[in-house]
Amino acid sequence: MQTQFSLTALADPEMAQSEKILRTCVHCGFCLATCPTYLLTANELDSPRGRIYLIKEMFEKNVSADPRTTYHIDRCLSCLSCMTTCPSSVDYMHLVDHARAFIEETASRSISQRFKRDILAFILPRPKIFRAVLRLAHFIMPFQAYLPKNIRSFLSPLPKKLPPPSLADRPQIIPAQGDRRMRVALLSGCAQTVIDTTINEATIRLLTRFGAEVIILEGVGCCGAVAHHLGKVEQSYQLARSNIKAWKHEIDTAGLDYIVVNASGCGTTIKDYKFLFREDPEMREGAAAVSERAVDISEVINKLDYKNTQEMPKLRVAYHSACSLQHGQKITHEPYDLIERAGFEAMAVPEGHICCGSAGTYNLLQPELSQQLLQRKLANINSLNPHIIAAGNFGCMMHIATQSQVPVMHLVELLDWASGGPKPQSLGF
């Protein structure tokens, strides 16, 4: 693709990087076939190729983002399915990230749109505030039928009951059972620690059972993904810096083999810290050290030679492969292998490369498209007639569970159960 960027624009490293990405696109259109929003709307501007044209025009003019560009970039899920499909290896992830930041800084949004985005970026990374807000929301839920549609879309995914804060999420060191085979730091996360504490608890049991010493570090919190995908770059960098400093200090003083992440959306972001801080001389080395040690829980459990220790019921498990895992991190076979080794039948969901519609805050900001994708995903899952739906990303789990009649749980809950842990609470039978 030919570009016409000014020399002034190219002096900005972010703009120079985006111009380089734009030039790799050859307009082939392979991405259209795997783009969820294009499949729903058949609108070229709701495809990666169409959005690339809009971004190119916006950056070349270097003026405030217009309503049309803002509208279609906002409708992008950042599922990255296009990157798996693209024969030219167009780095769409970093291009659309830059576009979101530019739009956030220059676009004219309505007061209600700005309020939604600001409140999500403020609340979700802060577990204590998020918990307080959810408790307040529970008093409003009985009256949600009388509330405006956009408010109801915020309330509908929320759980009916909140668990108490888990001791597993406090800063601590949990020793390995038996001989220590590795030393790992676990990202506790933010929203996940409020809504579903069983995931981290199962993760810790699983890791320690197979020989990993687990560290929950003071100063580590939200990975920054929520703010980053909302275009609030400085906020996301502040969160990331705090994590990098805490993990780098532990790497230098006591050593870490891995930084384990059990939410694939967070994992994709942490593995990208090296790129995000490439121009920051103060953070560059630490960011690289963190990214190089970051692993998804399925990767590290495979390294620990997972095996089940008890005979399990012959259950069919439909595995939902989160976009951030299969497209963002290119992890595809490990979860299926682990499900089989646990003694279950692993089933690949038809159209498994298509997003479920959760996509971070997408289900809250774009509820109509999100619900269409959810119905499509559930139809494909139900065609398998599974006993269980398993996933490796909390956001997907929560979204699918809002309308699924089949129990939804994290992969680690299944693996923990099969190797001596408790039966998952969500199983229901």
How much helix, strand and coil, in percent to the nearest 5, is found in the chain? 55, 10, 35
Using CA atoms, how far residue 118 sits from 74, 104, 242, 249, in Å, is 15, 11, 21, 31
How far apart are the C-alpha atoms of 44 and 49, rounded to whole Å? 7
Which residues fall within 8 angstroms of residue 318, CB to CB, at 6 or more apart? Answer: 347, 349, 381, 384, 386, 388, 389, 390, 406
pLDDT at 245: 98
Q: What is the pTM of this model?
A: 0.94
According to CATH, the topology of domain 7-106 is Fumarate Reductase Iron-sulfur Protein; Chain B, domain 2 (1.10.1060)
* DSSP-assigned beta bridge partners for residue 316: 345
CATH 3.40.50.1860 is right for the domain spanning 308-427: yes
pLDDT at 10: 92
Q: Which secondary-structure segment (H or E) carries 410?
A: strand 408-410
Q: Which secondary-structure segment (H or E) carries 7?
A: helix 7-10
pLDDT at 379: 98
Q: CB of 302 within 8 A of CB of 334?
A: yes
DSSP 285-345: HHHHHHHHHEEEHHHHHHHTT----S-----EEEEE--HIIIIIS---SHHHHHHHHTTSE
pLDDT at 213: 98
Q: Which residue has the tokens 């490439």?
A: 278
How far apart are the C-alpha atoms of 4 and 56, rounded to whole Å? 9
Q: Which residues of the chain have pLDDT under 70?
A: 144-157, 429
Q: CB of 211 within 8 A of CB of 180?
A: yes
φ/ψ of 175, rounded to 5, equals -70, 155
